[in-house]
Amino acid sequence: MDLSAINPVLLIASLMVAATPLLLAAIGELVAEKAGVLNLGVEGMMIVGAISGFAISVETGSPLLGFCAAAVGGAVLSLLFVILTQYALANQVASGLALTLFGLGISSLMGQSYVGLKPPSTGEIHIPLLSDIPVIGPILFQHDPILYFGIALVAIVWALLKYSRVGLILRAVGENHDAAHALGYKVVRVRTLAILFGGACAGLGGAYISLIRVPQWTEGMTAGVGWIALALVVFASWKPWRALIGAYLFGGITVLQLNLQAAGVAIPVEYLAMSPYIITILVLVILSADKSSAPASLGRIFHASN
């Protein structure tokens, strides 16, 4: 065993990178579910975001444009979900699954000519002064902008949901769409916007994998992150900060266990490999002992005539 081989500064920095795609996708899905929509298409929207972002940043040479394109790509795919569930009143579970399958298929079609290319580097923001602090500087203040954006997004979503009128309306629609409708709120419009937001976030999360974490394009490269994001929203009891804790735990332990393996720690590899799942679930289950429950109208179809 040689724990000294692990550089804690590099470790924490890379666990933040590993957590970010999960965090972005989870926070988007959280908003959609708060509005009462269960969109199982996260994986599909992520992978479409991954290729949209990759393609545009390769073509334009600008990672920022790539991330914008990823958000648009994810949102456009989620528009399909909007049409199916909000206007055609289709079953949300089936539509979400279809969205994932469709997203995986169309992304590999879109990505045919992008295999093996190298995307332009996103670069890191070195915050003046702060990034020069030893240890803390490289951990906290030398990352790419999207990582900070992810954390800021959690704060914004939390504040909006909790303190703003918009947040109240969104939650009302998610808790009881008939009552919200009776009060004169546009249920379908609110849900449409929430789904589009979820799609854009998932797209950003996907592009974070293809542009920063890996960075390359490979078919099916999200490999199940979308599903973990979905589970995370439930385990986080639909609370933004808990989603952040969950994402950092999961991403963090995934990276940590790989590091422990490489350092030759004498814990059996099987336990290390399962640890991200077990510890994340345990911590979030303990946190959710306050019995916060799902939005009451989650997954239910709304039509004004009912």
Partner 1 sequence: MKLTKLLTGAAMALGLASAALADEKVKVGFVYVGPVGDGGWTFEHNEGRLAVEEEFGDKVETVYVENVAEGPDAERVMTQMALEGADLIFTTSFGYMDPTINVAKKFPKVMFEHATGYKRSDNVSTYSARFYEGRAVQGHIAGKMTKSNTVGYIASFPIPEVIRGINSAYIHAAKVNPDVQFKVVWVYTWFDPAKEADAAKALIEQGADVILQHTDSTAPQAAAQEAGGVITFGQASDMSQYAPLPRVSSIIDNWAPYYVARTKAVMDGTWESVDTWDGISTGMVKIGEISDAVPADVKAEALAMAKAIGAGEYHPFTGPLKKQDGSDWLGDGETADDGTLAGMNFYVEGVEGDIPQ
Q: Which of 61-69, 126-134, 252-260, 284-292 is the region at the interface with partner 1 (rule: CB under 8 A)?
A: 252-260
78 touches partner 1 (CB under 8 A): no
User: What is the chain's percent helix, strand, coil content, to nearest 5?
Assistant: 75, 0, 25
Contacts of 234 (CB under 8 A, 6+ apart): 294
Where helices occur in the chain by DSSP H, the ranges are: 8-34, 42-60, 63-82, 92-110, 136-140, 145-163, 165-175, 177-182, 187-208, 225-235, 240-262, 269-287
Instruction: Tell me the per-residue interface mask from 267 to 286 with partner 1, x by CB under 8 A, - otherwise.
Output: -xxx--x-------------
- Binding to partner 1 (CB under 8 A) within 6-45 occurs at 6-7, 10-11, 14, 18, 21
Q: Which is nearer to partner 1, 19 or 298 (CB)?
A: 19
255 touches partner 1 (CB under 8 A): yes
Residue from 90, 97, 124, 213 binding partner 1 (CB under 8 A): 213
Provide the token pair at 49: 């975001």
97 touches partner 1 (CB under 8 A): no
Q: For tokens 């990582």, what's the residue?
A: 147
- Give the nearest distance from C-beta 219 to partner 1 in angstroms: 4
CA–CA separation, 208 and 231 (whole Å): 20
Closest by CA to 243, choosing from 8, 42, 63, is 42
CA–CA separation, 293 and 296 (whole Å): 8
Residue from 52, 254, 280, 297 binding partner 1 (CB under 8 A): 254
Strands 142-143 and 125-126 turn out to be antiparallel
Instruction: Tell me the per-residue interface mask from 104 to 123 with partner 1, x by CB under 8 A, - otherwise.
Output: x---x--xx--xxxx-----
57 touches partner 1 (CB under 8 A): no
Q: Which is nearer to partner 1, 57 or 259 (CB)?
A: 259
Q: Which is nearer to partner 1, 103 or 215 (CB)?
A: 215
Q: Which is nearer to partner 1, 13 or 298 (CB)?
A: 13
Provide the token pair at 284: 């979030």
Closest by CA to 220, choosing from 72, 53, 43, is 43
Q: Which is nearer to partner 1, 262 or 282 (CB)?
A: 262
Closest by CA to 53, choosing from 85, 91, 21, is 21
Positions in the binding site for partner 1 (CB under 8 A): 5-7, 10-11, 14, 18, 21, 104, 108, 111-112, 115-118, 209, 213-216, 218-225, 254-255, 258-259, 261-264, 268-270, 273
